[in-house]
Amino acid sequence: MDLYRLGAWQLRELLKKREVSPLEVVKALLQRIKEKDGRINAFLTVDEEGALEQARRSEALIQDVEQYPLAGVPVGIKDVLVTWGLRTTAGSRMLENFVPPYDATAVKRLKEAGAIIIGKLNMDEFAMGSSNENSAFGPVHNPYDLQRVPGGSSGGSAAAVAAGLVPVALGSDTGGSIRQPAAFCGIVGLKPTYGRVSRFGLIAFASSLDQVGPMTRNVRDAALLYRVISGHDPADSTSAQLPPHDVLDVVENSQSLKGLKIAVPWKELEGADEIVKDRFERVVETLRSLGAEVGEVEMPSFRYAVAVYYIIAPSEASSNLARYDGVKYGLRIEGEDLVDTYFKTRGRGFGREVKRRIMLGTYALSAGYYDAYYLKAQRVRTLIKQDFENVFAEHDLVIMPTSPTPAFKIGEKIQDPLTMYLNDIFTIPANLAGVPAISLPCGFSPEGLPVGFQFMGPLFKEDVLFAAAAAYEKARGEYFNRVAEI
């Protein structure tokens, strides 16, 4: 039995029946990482000793499914979530040797559920990127084609799950950073409603946009991780006053989509290439065959989403990243005086894309430009939110492709920031409005590259997302639970 091919739910069943031990599972995945990750570069840190010790301890927990729903299940963590005693870099030289003294709330909840943290996953530096080429520790390679990107910024998480290095992983989504790599790597990726999952311990990029979510090979695993990490956290002032959200019954019982009204903003999909459009049209046909009513709507503010995002997100980044000054923690390059220390530390510690976004944000917030750029962007953000509200007054969900193209080649767009930014054109609206969205695989290009689409739902209606996602998975199961052959 190839244990690396199994998802979290399948592993949990085998563990409960004592057909396999947590130690066997961890050893199998560590071996898989040793054999394959040299070509993928998904992991920045593998905690081999820690994972084996966690596996030994979890032996006593696996029968208590209610208290420890993830007992014995290995999980990979995007390296933007702090982990107690385990190096956390955010993909940057600035934090290359940073070892946090506490766990992020999402990580803590995984551990409390019995999960085994096997290591930290590569990412675009400080989550800024759409290709995972901006990591200070080298690009991640797409396991379906090693010459192509896995998407970003959670590219390491997506590639690790797709390649069978871990059954499930956590990522973060600021403008599509869970969903776009999920689409490029043929897996499931959920961006919950803003506030549904705690951001405490998530190294901040853009605080009004960032959200933590699961990346898995099937919908049931995504629901399992989502249940564990969701719920109110008093340590996060933006956390919603809601309990953990259990959607497993919804996933198990969802069959038909009869009565569900789904909206498609067709006019906003003109940027998608023909392969993506074709696969998306097949999705629409499938949803109609399941009983859903699919109709066209207009969401005119969507066309401004990329421009709005690349004012708001860099503005928040310029504020959040001011803490990296070479004084408190992280990299420090001594200068002749304090100002020179700042220049040298930040000059060497930050990569090109991070510097670009800090400069963009600082400019947008500067005196004389705040009203013209940042304030206007916030007003248009409100219009995007209103577009969603208007559509959800008469529809249950919105669907769009996740990315306008399948995965592109490494190096193809890295020198053209504008072209790179346009990769997020379909994912950014959900972040600006704070609504939940889930990306699902929907086929392959003629070159064998995965293609994805996304459901977007009303605030805090993840149960509707999961119901639709589960029904689609049951109808098109051939796209799910796949492990890339490398």
Catalytic residues, by residue number, are: 78, 153, 177
DSSP-derived letter for residue 240 is -
Cβ(83)–Cβ(198) below 8 Å: no
Cβ(41)–Cβ(139) below 8 Å: yes
Q: Which of 174, 166, 126, 187 has the alpha carbon at shortest distance from 42?
A: 166
**DSSP H stretches of helix in 41-75:** 48-58
Q: What is the CA radius of gyration of the chain?
A: 21
DSSP-derived letter for residue 303 is G
d(CA 346, CA 184): 32
| Residues linked to residue 46 through DSSP beta bridges, in sequence order | 119
- Tokens linked to 118: 């096997």
Between strands 116-121 and 74-78, the pairing is: parallel
CA dihedral for 174, 99, 332, 133, sign (positive or negative): negative
Cβ(448)–Cβ(405) below 8 Å: no
- Tokens linked to 352: 């090109």
Cβ(185)–Cβ(156) below 8 Å: no
